[in-house]
């Protein structure tokens, strides 16, 4: 851009042949142009805002850009000085490109170097890292994904002074490991099934609700709440056909709710101390049994003699 000077008022634009306003013109290859025609003829248009690009031009993605207009299509950060990577037809910063690539591969991004984590990540202070970025606080060995994070000491903000230890050094500290998340347990510990658990991680194998101090039932190495244990493994009452959630009364190779065990003839309630007899696979109290015909009682006695296990018990 130049100025014709006060006395050179006859200077005209080589394109529109009009005098230059205030004597200001743009010169290119020996020809002088007004600002409008110079922009139309030679200045590129920005691929984002559509305005003429005067000064520094960013040429990328088959277009021209103002430096402030050329941005990452994921995080909107400026790319003019940071550099970019073309990913699926989009201009992305290095961090976003790594994240997109990791998402396609089903992997994680390192919070420190922003690279893809090909192996198991190390979680530290809520973020994921390549394990080799860290060393054990005690012995200084390069860490792997099995490293343990120990919570900050009293008086510091959460995560402010958290430290990492290799598995060997951590085990020497005697801190229990949760059987669910495999992380150290720094506060209240639940011990069950031969393991240690965070309170919130010791849950029913069926409904996955924490027991939070309530009673649990164990079966084949798993823990169940009372409801689901009885639903899956409990007894059904011979009378009501419902799961027996409380005490179980067993008789005649059947299970009964305590308050449902009664004489099949007079409906008298019976318990463990009540004398009863078996008749047609049903219990009969002594009073009802005494009313049976003598011939019937003889046949029952002969049956009991042949199979002593069927003799009724108290």
Look up the domain containing 200 and give its range. Answer: 187-233
248 with 228, same domain?
no
Short-list 51, 52, 49, 27, CA closest to 39: 52
pLDDT at 206 over 70: yes
Residue 3 pLDDT level (bands cut at 50, 70, 90)? low
Which residues, at least 6 apart from 22, have a Cβ–Cβ distance to it below 8 Å? 3
Residue 137 counted as domain residue: no
Select from 179, 210, 233 the last residue of a domain.
Answer: 233
Over the chain, what is the mean pLDDT? 81
**Per-residue pLDDT tens for 278-302?**
888 888 888 898 888 888 888 877 7
Structure confidence at residue 27 as a pLDDT band (50, 70, 90):
confident
The two tokens of residue 170 are 């951590």
pLDDT confidence of residue 108: 84
pLDDT digits (tens, 9 = 90+) for 160-188: 568 898 988 887 777 888 888 888 887 78
Q: Is the residue at 259 inside a domain?
A: yes
Same domain as 208, residue 192: yes
Residue 278 inside a domain? The answer is yes
Q: Does residue 195 sit within a domain?
A: yes
Q: Is residue 227 part of a domain?
A: yes
Instruction: Using pLDDT thresholds of 50, 70 and 90, give the confidence band for residue 69.
Output: very high
Judge whether 22 lies within some domain.
no
Residues 211 and 246 placed together within one structural domain of the fold: no
Position 309 pLDDT exceeds 80: no
The pLDDT value given to residue 83: 85
Q: How confident is the model over 256-268, as pLDDT tens digits?
A: 888 888 898 898 8
Residue 208 sits in the same domain as residue 263: no
Same domain, 228 and 259: no
Q: When comparing pLDDT for 189 and 54, which is higher?
A: 189
Domain-embedded: residue 221: yes
Question: In this predicted structure, what is the pLDDT of residue 291?
Answer: 87
Give me the mean pLDDT over the 139-143 stretch: 92
Final residue belonging to a domain, choices 203, 233, 263:
233
Answer yes or no: do 201 and 251 share one domain. Answer: no
Which residues are CB-neighbours of 45 under 8 A, at least 6 positions away?
51, 52, 53, 64
* 249 and 266, same domain (yes or no): yes
Q: In the chain, pLDDT over 90 holds for what percent of residues? A: 14
Write the CATH number for 214: 2.10.110.10
Provide the whole-model pTM.
0.35
Residue 258 shares a structural domain with residue 216: no
Number of structural domains the chain divides into: 2
**What is the rounded average pLDDT of the residues 96-111?**
79
Q: Is the pLDDT of residue 156 over 70?
A: no
Candidates 252, 253, 256; CA nearest to 243 is 256
DSSP SS3 for 123: strand
Burial string for 79-106 (b: 16+ CB within 10 Å, else e) reads bbeeebbebeeebbbebbbbbbbbeeee
pLDDT tens digits, 230-251: 778 767 788 887 777 677 787 8
In a domain, 141, yes or no: no
Report pLDDT digits (tens) over 80-97.
Answer: 888 888 887 889 988 888
């Amino acid at each position: 851009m130049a100025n014709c000077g006060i006395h050179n008022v006859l200077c005209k634009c080589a394109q529109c042949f009009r005098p230059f306003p205030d004597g200001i013109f743009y010169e290119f290859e020996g020809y002088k142009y007004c600002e409008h025609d110079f922009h139309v003829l030679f200045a590129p248009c920005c691929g984002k805002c559509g305005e003429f690009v005067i000064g520094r031009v960013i040429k990328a993605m088959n277009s021209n850009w103002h430096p402030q207009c050329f941005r990452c299509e994921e995080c909107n950060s400026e790319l003019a000085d940071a550099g970019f990577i073309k990913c699926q037809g989009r201009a992305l910063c290095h961090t976003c490109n790594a994240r997109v690539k990791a998402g396609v591969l089903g992997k994680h991004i390192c919070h420190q170097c922003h690279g893809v984590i090909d192996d198991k990540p190390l979680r530290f202070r809520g973020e994921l890292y390549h394990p080799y970025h860290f060393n054990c606080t005690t012995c200084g060995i390069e860490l792997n994904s099995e490293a343990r994070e120990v919570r900050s000491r009293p008086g510091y903000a959460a995560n402010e002074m958290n430290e990492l230890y290799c598995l060997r050094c951590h085990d020497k500290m005697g801190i229990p490991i949760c059987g669910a998340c495999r992380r150290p347990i720094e506060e209240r510990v639940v011990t069950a099934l031969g393991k240690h658990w965070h309170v919130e991680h010791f849950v029913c194998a069926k409904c996955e609700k924490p027991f939070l101090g309530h009673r649990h039932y164990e079966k084949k190495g798993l823990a169940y709440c009372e409801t689901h244990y009885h639903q899956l493994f409990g007894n059904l009452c011979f009378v009501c056909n419902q799961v027996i959630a409380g005490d179980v009364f067993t008789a005649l190779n059947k299970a009964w709710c305590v308050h449902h065990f009664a004489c099949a003839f007079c409906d008298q309630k019976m318990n463990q101390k009540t004398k009863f007899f078996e008749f047609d696979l049903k219990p009969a109290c002594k009073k009802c049994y005494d009313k049976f015909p003598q011939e019937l009682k003889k046949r029952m006695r002969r049956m009991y003699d042949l199979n002593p296990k069927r003799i009724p018990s108290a």
